[in-house]
Structure 1
Amino acid sequence: KYSRTEHARIIPVEKDHYNLKIDSFLVKKIDFGFQNRKLFISGNSVKLNNPSLDIYRNKLVADDQTIKPLYSKMLRDIQFDLTLDSVNIDNAAIVYTEKVKKENKGGTINFKSLNANISNVSNTYKDSKKTQIKVDAIFMDSTPFTTDWSFDVNNTNDTFLFKADVGSLPAEDINSFTVPNLKVQLEGEANKIYFTIDGNNTASQVDLKINYDKFKINVLNKKGDKKNGFLSAIANIFISKDSDKSEGDFREGSGEVKRDKTKSFFNYLWLNAEKGLKSSLTGGKN
């Protein structure tokens, strides 16, 4: 309905602009009605074929300081009984753009060939059955990316476990995001990254290990067109160039993260990944 520019002009606080297209949407064995005067909806499976989602966030708009619940709480608090055995997403594409600096159009990351299987999407289970989300995709140009994420909707602490496996990632592939938004240019290659986040609504623990070669940070000037040699030299003092001096050729890092409840779950994930990467690249555990 609104363009990105129009959307940013009319919203009072920061809010994502979405553009979603789906080739087909299939539901098997759906049932709905009222039980004890409460609406229920149930289904055997839901399948989305070839969805394309474009997300844009303008960070120049005022922050939204309201509390953002985790997905387990959102599911738990739905005002009707929902029971879906499975939701499957086939061959999705997701593009996320974030505009931080006024002088450019923002930085972008993307996922393609994304397939997801989500089981036990429900707020009616009584036996601690967990909602599980398994995803495989291609991140940026050609990086294999898989995740396994689970939570118990009945757990009021909103505990979750999130595991990710990231394949070969040339650092230059994510410069389309880091250069316009962070004024940082990366060099080198991450050959393999594994991380696990064990958390809840308040705090989390991240453990990460990475195998990488010739990693280097170039801090840029305000315009983003020239390297700041002094700041780049300072930044690289603290970073091990390669992981090959570590046991098993992996450097390991860990840390604890306190959740900012005014931010989304994906912000929480990013803070954990960032904490783990900083710990591993700067010495964490060898």
Structure 2
Amino acid sequence: MGDFISTYGFLIVTMVQAGLLGLSLYFPLQAGQLSLATPGFYALGGYTAAILLTNPSFAGLRDTLGNGMFVLTWLVAAALSALLGLAVGIPALRLRGIYLALATIAFVEILRVLALNLTITGGAIGIFNVPQPFGFEDRGQFIWLFGPMLLLTLLFARQLERSRVGRALRAIREDELAADAMGVNPTRYKVLAFVIGAVLAGIVGAMSAPLLSSWNARQGTFDASIAVLAFVLIGGSRNVWGPVVGGALLTAVPELLRFLADWRLVINGLVLVVASLYLPQGIVGALERLRRPAPPQRPADLPRPEVKA
């Protein structure tokens, strides 16, 4: 068991991390909003943790709090992501469809350019030697952080779906005009879903900076936006397990096929193409259809008696 963890521990952690990032996109999609801002908030959280854990200005605070400093980075990252999510979400969520996607991609690029040009973020080089939390000696041990975070997020998502807020989000996703006519405030609920996704991405970023031991502008790019979107589309966007399954699959396939060298990327691309063509509702959606009982068949129409003249 120890050999398995040492060999595949980091892969398992990155699969869980990918599932969490997929869930951060899942929440805006619950309101029918295609937001690609997740890597931006992920990068913000990572920079927050890296700065607080390495900058000499916070050395006294680190000495005072000890391991509590890591928890503080999560809270600060969540607060900053929520504030920035509100600032971006209120104007951006007036857009719909591809226009919202373009606006959130622009947001990610703005943050990336700022990170490349600010001194506190380390510029193009980034921030190195981010300390490990709680005395972790192996990156596989981060499963004790990411695993409970995934379970809490899934529980929260389930409770949200069953609540009044969840019903309002589904109503907006199905027909925003009808939801507005029924007294649901679309803007308020869309911004709420956007902020929830932003907070989750920010916390995951703050947890990931110590995992990677460094942080730079490559963590929040347009490519990362497309990757997170693929997690949700392949896994399924209508079920909370969809982003988790999609993120785990698309993270594991290239690593497990590493012995095929560059061909592993070809196979990964084929998985994307096949899933997009034959699983339009994602893997989880296809499994749900298989489990769902077939609708009862209508009895064959009886022949009508002939009417003689």
Bigger fraction of residues in helix? 2
The alignment's TM-score, normalised by the length of structure 2, stands at 0.26
- Which structure is higher in strand share? 1
Higher relative contact order (CA 8 A, sep 6+): 2
